[in-house]
Each structure stands twice: as structure tokens, then as C-alpha cells.
């Protein structure tokens, strides 16, 4: 991979921040956009903007085609069977909520059990938490082991005929842990449970094959994979979508409406009420094509190498504690850490003064923070446009942070 | 603008060795607050002699800015009347918001003046103000 040339595709990466070159290491929060994505959005508005699935004129045909082409790109990217199984949403959060508010509402009952992991982002915990409260169902939490990996034995022991749903993140947004979702799905299906995988962090960084995983639902987020904000997608097996009631109601999701009755639209439009974010979808398609051109296998192996380097270098910072797996083969390019005596918020500010952007806080995973006995962590997260030099800048700045706060007894 | 301007020695000193840290057995007023974004937490307990703060203690955890501000503010308000405290906090907020302020009145608290350059951190520095205002209000 020619990182130097790849970086030229991302205009923001040449920005100077606080008199220093920007070192952007907050890719788990959102990723930067290549020129081709930015230009695709401009091209829409300069050339063929019109609402999709509405008009009979040329512009409407073009925008509708571009929107549906994006659906095909998402299908191909995660290897779904059919574009009927791809529902555009605002983001992964909305995709997960869609499942909770439709399938969940219809199927979860009093006394049922929902299993989620301690590593879940709030977006794959709270929808199930609220559903369980409402229905009188019980939530079981799969713990993490000391090495930051999921305790799969604990998961196995929780499964029973009461298990109706398993919600699991493919890649933890804090630990970076890659969870064995295929194995989890296989085990859960033996008990007839439905499996929802949060792929917000995995899909941007590794080859995802929903058919191989065999999960029933899979959520992705466009802006975490070079696409614009406000676009995400839900993959769902067609038989699930056929049996589910629509989520939101309005335009687009109907075939025929009278004052007394409604016939819903075909899949996938049954689940896309109102004017969709076609701008976002069109940008996402170009982002996917960009990722495919580089190759997801190449991205994964480059990031693994970078993560190995980062783990090695970061260990040299005095009094650092790194959360999650220390073995880069078990995780993605996400490293959460604390430095004794320096609060993560202060780390964030000190790094910012060096032009380095990282995240500090609870990472929308407060149950995991509580489990780790902290209220906040600092987190550096990488993408394929990051370099070893940027890791060096990070490590130098972390050492500086430790110096500023002095020796802590 | 160097980091040493933001993380002045006095800030680090108050962070690592906070003043007035702990509890008061029978406080006349007590309030707590948190900054959900970063998890900073402050609890303040006060006793009064009429309208004058007799004693104040705080507990909490969080970043150097939030904790040092709590330490410095508790130092600054001891022995002051509620009106004096309100004036002091108003000047302190002026400083954090980049407005003109009374430097002499603020004393040590002026060490936090560079926080205004980091808008994301102003909430850390002002958490104690919100908690203190709440406590003063509850005292009645």
C-alpha cells in the first residue's frame, strides 16, 4: 500500500492544527473523507439532484439509479444475498433501534432472555435494555476476560431455550477486540435465538461476509468507513424482513393507501419511510468503491501491522495502562489507555496542542468503563491512512503529558 | 501558547494535592454535579455563619482542570458572604468565557485563564461553579 499517495486523496490530512500537521487518530469516532466522496456529493447537487423514486423525468431516474446503485454496493461489500436485505438508515444506531422497535417489539416476551456483551456500545445495549424493561424480559451480560477477549465459555453457559436474542459487537469500540461472531451465531442458532451484530467498527476495517457469519441482522455506519454522516445500513435476512412490521410510516414505504387500509411497499423500501438520505447513500457508494480498490484484506493487514507497532511503542510510555487485547491479531486498530496521574481529558488536551486528535471519555460504553473501574479512558484509533510517524508523534506527546504532570507517587 | 500556560504548576499542585478535600459532618448545604461528556464529578458541602461561608469541603474525581478548580474555588470562598461569592463566580465565568474580568478579585483562580482557549474544557473549569450555585440556592 502506497500510504503517501493514499494520503493525498484526503484533503483534510494536510491540515495544520495548532501550528502542527494534523495527526488524526479518532477514526473509531468518524473517518476522514477522500476527495472522490466529497466530489460525488457535489456532483449530485450540481448535476442531477432530485428526489428518488418520485419523478418521471430524467433527473429523477438518475438520482434513483445512483441511490439504488449504492444499495448494490453495500450488498456486495458485506456479501448479502440480495439488495432486498439492505435497508438504508441514518447510522448503525438507527439500524439497531429499527430491529428493537420492529422485530423486538413483535417477538420479545415476558420472561425471555436477551444476551449482550459487556463490550457493547450504548447503541447495542440501550435498545435491548429498554425493550427488556418494557416486556419484562431479562438481560444477561457476557463478561470480558482479563485479556480483553470475550468470555465465550460464559456465553455458552448463558444460552438456553429462553434465549431469544443475542446482541454482539463485531469489534469493540473501546478494546478493539474482534469477537467470534460466526461461532456466537452458530451457538445462538442452536437455541433458536436471533443474532444481531453491530458492525459499525468492523465493516470499515475488515472483510465482512454476512452469509458466512450467518447472523440475522448486521448494522453498519457510513461515516466510519469514509462515507458521509447520516447514512448507515441494516442488513437483515429476507425472511425476517418479510415477517416484520414497518418501522416508520409515511411516504415511500407504501404501495397503496386508502383511508381505511394500507399495502406496504416491497422490500427493502417497506422500511424506508420518507425521503431518504440519497446524498449520503451516493457518497457511501463511492466510499465503498474506494475501499474495494485498496482491498479490505490489504487494509486489515496494514492496520494490524500499524497496531502491532503502536502497541509496542505505547508500552514505553511510563505508567501507561492499555485496555483490551495486547495481541494485535485479536483486535482492530483501536487502543484505549490511561496514564497514571494524568486524566484522559488532560491527555486529550495535551495531544491536541501537538495537533493530535484522539478521543477521551467514556466512549458511549459506560458499563464497560464501570467494569474496568474507571470513569474515562483515552483512545487512539487508526485507519489505513495513518502512519508509523504519526504513532511516533502520539508516543512522544504521551511522554510529554507524563512529564508535565510529573512523577506521581 | 504553550502547554505550560494551560497546565500551570499551581494547577497541577491543586490537582495532585487538593485543598479542602473531604466531607463535613453536618453540612448546611450540599450539592453535586457531573459533566457527562468526560465523567468529571464534584460534590461540595458547606457550613454557614449567617450569610458567610464558614467551611467548605469537596470530593470528586476527574481531570486536572475540574479538580484544581474545585480546590481553588473552595479556598477562595471560605469566609466570604454569599453576595461576595456570587460576584467572584461571575468574574470567574467572565474569564472562562473570554470576557473582561477583575484579575485582582480572582487571585489564584486566574491560573485557569488559559482554559478559554480550549472551549471543550470550559465545562471542566465551570463544573464547580454550577455545583456551588446549586448549594447556595438550596441553602436558602
Rg over CA atoms, chain B: 14
* B41 neighbourhood in chain A, CB within 8 Å: 375
Please state which CATH number belongs to domain A3-27+295-404. 3.90.1150.10
Catalytic member of A36, A215, A364, A372:
A364
**Phi, psi for A124 (deg, rounded to 5):** -115, 20
Are the CB atoms for B18 and B36 separated by under 8 Å?
A: no
Are the CB atoms for A290 and A74 separated by under 8 Å?
A: no
- Cell 406496504 belongs to A264
* B3 neighbourhood in chain A, CB within 8 Å: 350, 353, 400, 404
Class at the top of the CATH hierarchy for domain A50-292: alpha beta
The CATH number fitting domain B3-139, selected from 3.40.50.620, 3.40.630.10, 1.20.1730.10, 3.90.1010.10? 3.90.1010.10
pTM of the entire predicted model: 0.94
DSSP bridge pairs for A212:
none
Q: At a CB cut-off of 8 Å and minimum separation 6, what does B136 contact?
A: B29, B82, B85, B86
Cα A76 to Cα A254: distance, rounded to the nearest angstrom = 26
ipTM score of complex: 0.89
* A362 neighbourhood in chain B, CB within 8 Å: 38-39
Q: Domain map of chain B by residue range?
A: 3-139
In chain A, whose CA is at the least distance from the CA of B8? A404
- Cell 496521574 belongs to A341
Active site residue A364: yes
The x, y and z cell numbers of residue A369, run together, are 468503563
Are the CB atoms for A259 and A239 separated by under 8 Å?
A: no
Q: Domain map of chain A by residue range?
A: 3-27+295-404, 50-292
**Phi, psi for A258 (deg, rounded to 5):** -120, 175
Residue in A360, A371, A370, A300 with CA at minimum distance from that of residue A336: A360
- Return mean pLDDT, chain A: 96
Please give chain B's pLDDT, 140 residues, in tens.
577 778 889 999 999 999 999 999 999 999 999 987 777 899 999 999 999 999 999 999 999 999 999 999 999 999 999 999 999 999 999 999 999 999 999 999 999 999 998 888 999 999 999 999 999 998 86
Closest partner residue to B63 among A345, A369, A408, by Cβ? A345
Cα A305 to Cα A300: distance, rounded to the nearest angstrom = 9
Cα A152 to Cα B72: distance, rounded to the nearest angstrom = 49
Are the CB atoms for A168 and A128 separated by under 8 Å?
A: no
- Cell 468574574 belongs to B91
A345 to B3: CB separation less than 8 angstroms, yes or no: no
Q: What is the pLDDT of residues A84-97, one digit of tens each?
A: 999 999 999 999 99
DSSP bridge pairs for A194:
A165
Residues B7-17, buried b or exposed e (16+ Cβ, 10 A)? bbebbbebbbe
B37 to A361: CB separation less than 8 angstroms, yes or no: yes
Amino acid at each position: 500500500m502506497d500510504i503517501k499517495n493514499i494520503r493525498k486523496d484526503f484533503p483534510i490530512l494536510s491540515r495544520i492544527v495548532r501550528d502542527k500537521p494534523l495527526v488524526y487518530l479518532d477514526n473509531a469516532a468518524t473517518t476522514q473523507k477522500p476527495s472522490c466522496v466529497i466530489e460525488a456529493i457535489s456532483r449530485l447537487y450540481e448535476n442531477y439532484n432530485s428526489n428518488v423514486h418520485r419523478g418521471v423525468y430524467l433527473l429523477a431516474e438518475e438520482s434513483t439509479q445512483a441511490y439504488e446503485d449504492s444499495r448494490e454496493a453495500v450488498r456486495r461489500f458485506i456479501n448479502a444475498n440480495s439488495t432486498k436485505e439492505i435497508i438504508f438508515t441514518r447510522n448503525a444506531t438507527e439500524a439497531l433501534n429499527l430491529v428493537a422497535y420492529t422485530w423486538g417489539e413483535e417477538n420479545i416476551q415476558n420472561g425471555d432472555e436477551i444476551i449482550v456483551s459487556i463490550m457493547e456500545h450504548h447503541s447495542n445495549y440501550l435498545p435491548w435494555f429498554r425493550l427488556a424493561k418494557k416486556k419484562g424480559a431479562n438481560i444477561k451480560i457476557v463478561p470480558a476476560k482479563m485479556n480483553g477477549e470475550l468470555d465465550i465459555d460464559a456465553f455458552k453457559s448463558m444460552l438456553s431455550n429462553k434465549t431469544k436474542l443475542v446482541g454482539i459487537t463485531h469489534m469493540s469500540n473501546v478494546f478493539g477486540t474482534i469477537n467470534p461472531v460466526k461461532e456466537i451465531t452458530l451457538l445462538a442458532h442452536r437455541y433458536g435465538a436471533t443474532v444481531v451484530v453491530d458492525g459499525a467498527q468492523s465493516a470499515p476495517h475488515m472483510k465482512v461476509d454476512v452469509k458466512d457469519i450467518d447472523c440475522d441482522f448486521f448494522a453498519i455506519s457510513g461515516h466510519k468507513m469514509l462515507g458521509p454522516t447520516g447514512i448507515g445500513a441494516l442488513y437483515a435476512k429476507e425472511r425476517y424482513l418479510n415477517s416484520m412490521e414497518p418501522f416508520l410510516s409515511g411516504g415511500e414505504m407504501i404501495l397503496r393507501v386508502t383511508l381505511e387500509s394500507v399495502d406496504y411497499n416491497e422490500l427493502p423500501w417497506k422500511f424506508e419511510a420518507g425521503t431518504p438520505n440519497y446524498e449520503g447513500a451516493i457518497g457511501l457508494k463511492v466510499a465503498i468503491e474506494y475501499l474495494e480498490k485498496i482491498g479490505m484484506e490489504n487494509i486489515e493487514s496494514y492496520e494490524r501491522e500499524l497496531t502491532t507497532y503502536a502497541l509496542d511503542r505505547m508500552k514505553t510510555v511510563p505508567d501507561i495502562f492499555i485496555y483490551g487485547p495486547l495481541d494485535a491479531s485479536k483486535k482492530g486498530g483501536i487502543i484505549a489507555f490511561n496514564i497514571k496521574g494524568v486524566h484522559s481529558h488532560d491527555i486529550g488536551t495535551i495531544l491536541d496542542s501537538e495537533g493530535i486528535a484522539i478521543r477521551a471519555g467514556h466512549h458511549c460504553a459506560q458499563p464497560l468503563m464501570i467494569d474496568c473501574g474507571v470513569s474515562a479512558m483515552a483512545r487512539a484509533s487508526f485507519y489505513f491512512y495513518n502512519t508509523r510517524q504519526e504513532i511516533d508523534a502520539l508516543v512522544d506527546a504521551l511522554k510529554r503529558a507524563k512529564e508535565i504532570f510529573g512523577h506521581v507517587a | 501558547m504553550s502547554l505550560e500556560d494551560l497546565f500551570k504548576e499551581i494547577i497541577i499542585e491543586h490537582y495532585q494535592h487538593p485543598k479542602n478535600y473531604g466531607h463535613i459532618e453536618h453540612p448546611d448545604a450540599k450539592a453535586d454535579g457531573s459533566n457527562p461528556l468526560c465523567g468529571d464529578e464534584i460534590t461540595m458541602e458547606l457550613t454557614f455563619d449567617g450569610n458567610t461561608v464558614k467551611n467548605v469541603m469537596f470530593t470528586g474525581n476527574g481531570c486536572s482542570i475540574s479538580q484544581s478548580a474545585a480546590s481553588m474555588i473552595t479556598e477562595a470562598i471560605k469566609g466570604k458572604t454569599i453576595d461576595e461569592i456570587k460576584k467572584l463566580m461571575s468574574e470567574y465565568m467572565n474569564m472562562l468565557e473570554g470576557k473582561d474580568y477583575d484579575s485582582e478579585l480572582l487571585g489564584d483562580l486566574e491560573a485557569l485563564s488559559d482554559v478559554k482557549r480550549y472551549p471543550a474544557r470550559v465545562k471542566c473549569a465551570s463544573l464547580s461553579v454550577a455545583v456551588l450555585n446549586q448549594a447556595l440556592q438550596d441553602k436558602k
